[in-house]
Amino acid sequence: MTPKKNDRSTGPSDDGRGDEFAEGARRVHDELSARIGEQAPQPRLEPTRRAVELLGDPQRAYPVIHITGTNGKTSTSRMIESVLRAHGLRTGLMTSPHLVRLNERIVIDGEPIADERLVANWDDIQPYLTMVDTDLEAAGEPTLTFFEALTVLAFACFADAPADVVVLEVGMGGEWDSTNVADGQVAVFTPVALDHQNRLGSTVAEIARTKAGIVKPAAAVVSASQTPEALAEIQRAVELSEASLAVEGTAFGVESTTVAVGGQVVTIRGLAGRYDDLLLPQFGDHQAQNAAVAVAAVESFLGGGSQPLDPEVLAEGLAAATSPGRLQIVANEPTILVDAAHNPHGARALAKALDDYFQFGGVVAVLSVLADKDAAGIVRALAPTVQQFVVTSSQSDRAIDADELAAIAVGVVGADRVVVETDLVAALRTARDLADEVEGDEPGGVVVTGSITLVGDVLALSQQPEGLS
């Protein structure tokens, strides 16, 4: 049975205290969801700044590594956090969006925050959020949004933990993203591409300019390889802030990568050392790139970019890094993977990884795309690798209607390669049947992609007793 919308934010308590705190976590989610949603962020910082000031500026209680970009932010953030934790630091990690439960967004020492602590911190900050909301309403402005309130909550949770260091992923953009009330000692850029154009700008340069707003005075800036126009905006921000800049391809990079069981083995040239034969339990050259950026970021944080990391500790941290929803295998016979690619840049990386890291006789995609995304561009990027598209719709209210999405897909690949199944369970069943019908020496495979909400829906299904059978 398809999960209800709220099922992605609830579940058993992760602290062993039973339904009391599971219900409390549901309440936190519902109260956050009653605010302006993440699809309509407010381009402002002052309300979040006012809220954290009332709380005593918890975001200043720990150093911050701040991460922006278009694709790869969450994977890179999780790698950085894992390597820092391997070095003995108590870490905080904020990522977004969540796949199944809200707790995933606030991670303490490698584990999603316990329901009890989530609820306690939420209740603690309520009077301060109310004060800010009241002032905003009096001024005729929207009250704190979902993400603004969540950011304040995360900062409070990290201070309460307490965290030695926080890895902070922006929600959208950078300059006016609510996370930007924190000052990152290290600012990290994953590849910048077109996405959220209605909010961030219509060109890569405009989007990069907004994202470059996270660069703070004297920060160490670490960037993945960028297009010339994106790099120019990052360089401009670095110069204005008198920061330092290290760019993949010149200051550091991936020396080699080899497909291995469960992922790949990579050799990385860091800022201060070379690290050979590191096991990375993720698939795709783009994940090797994310790992190189993560290594350079940790080198910048721990040793100012001039001291090499202990190879054994680094190896331990990368080997333990997880990236749920990113080329994650959730079922076998046939293999079903989920991947959160939700724009053409991400879809191209997914297609390349499927070609390079898997030996499928044919690939069937289960596809759902949100209304503000480039659906045709996603289909176009997947078309050379995917033989059949099973078009469906995720639980999100923002998902493109399945018939409408199918028409877009037919316009790209033709009617003979598109099937419509409005029900997700039926779509998965159809995709498995199509994969089983693939002829040749290698079996067929299924990839679920196109939106993070679809991936979350499938992961929620996989966690039910009957799984994806």
- Segment 126-151 shows an average pLDDT of 97
CA-to-CA distance for 455 and 468, rounded, in angstroms?
A: 13
Give per-residue pLDDT as tens, 152-199.
Answer: 999 999 999 999 999 999 999 899 999 999 999 999 999 998 776 666
Q: pTM for the complete prediction?
A: 0.92
- Segment 378-384 shows an average pLDDT of 98
- Segment 366-390 shows an average pLDDT of 97
3-state secondary structure the chain: CCCCHHHHHCCCCCCCCCHHHHHHHHHHHHHHHCCCCCCCCCCCCHHHHHHHHHCCCHHHCCCEEEEECCCCHHHHHHHHHHHHHHCCCCEEEECCCCCCCHHHHEEECCEECCHHHHHHHHHHHHHHHHHHHHHHHHCCCCCCCHHHHHHHHHHHHHHHCCCCEEEEECCCCCCCCHHHHCCCCEEEECCCCCCCHHHHCCCHHHHHHHHHHHCCCCCEEEECCCCHHHHHHHHHHHHHHCCEEEEECCCEEEEEEEEECCEEEEEEECCCCEEEEEEECCCCHHHHHHHHHHHHHHHHHHHCCCCCCCHHHHHHHHHHCCCCCCCEEEECCCEEEECCCCCHHHHHHHHHHHHHHCCCCEEEEEECCECCCCHHHHHHHHCCCCCEEEECCCCCCCECCHHHHHHHHHHHHCHHHEEECCCHHHHHHHHHHHHHCCCCCCCEEEEEECCHHHHHHHHHHHCCCCCCC
Give per-residue pLDDT as tens, 37-55.
Answer: 877 788 999 999 999 999 9
| Region of residue 462 (left: phi > 0; alpha: psi -120 to 50; beta: else) | alpha
Q: What are the φ/ψ torsions at residue 420 (nearest 5 degrees)?
A: -110, 125
- Residue 467: per-residue pLDDT: 74
Give per-residue pLDDT as tens, 68-81.
Answer: 999 999 999 999 99
Peptide bond into 47 cis (omega under 30): no
- Residue 197: per-residue pLDDT: 63
- Residue 42: per-residue pLDDT: 86
Average pLDDT, the chain: 93
pLDDT above 60: residue 15 = no
Domains with residue ranges and CATH for the chain: 5-320 (3.40.1190.10), 328-462 (3.90.190.20)
Q: Give me the half-sphere count of Cα atoms (radius 13 Å) on the Cβ side of residue 226.
A: 32
- Residue 465: per-residue pLDDT: 80
- Residue 282: per-residue pLDDT: 96
Two structure tokens written together for 318:
């990368």
Q: Which residue has the higher pLDDT, 205 or 465?
A: 205
Give per-residue pLDDT as tens, 206-226.
Answer: 999 999 999 999 999 999 999
- Segment 128-156 shows an average pLDDT of 98
Give per-residue pLDDT as tens, 119-135.
Answer: 999 999 999 999 999 99
pLDDT above 50: residue 377 = yes
- Residue 13: per-residue pLDDT: 38
pLDDT above 80: residue 108 = yes
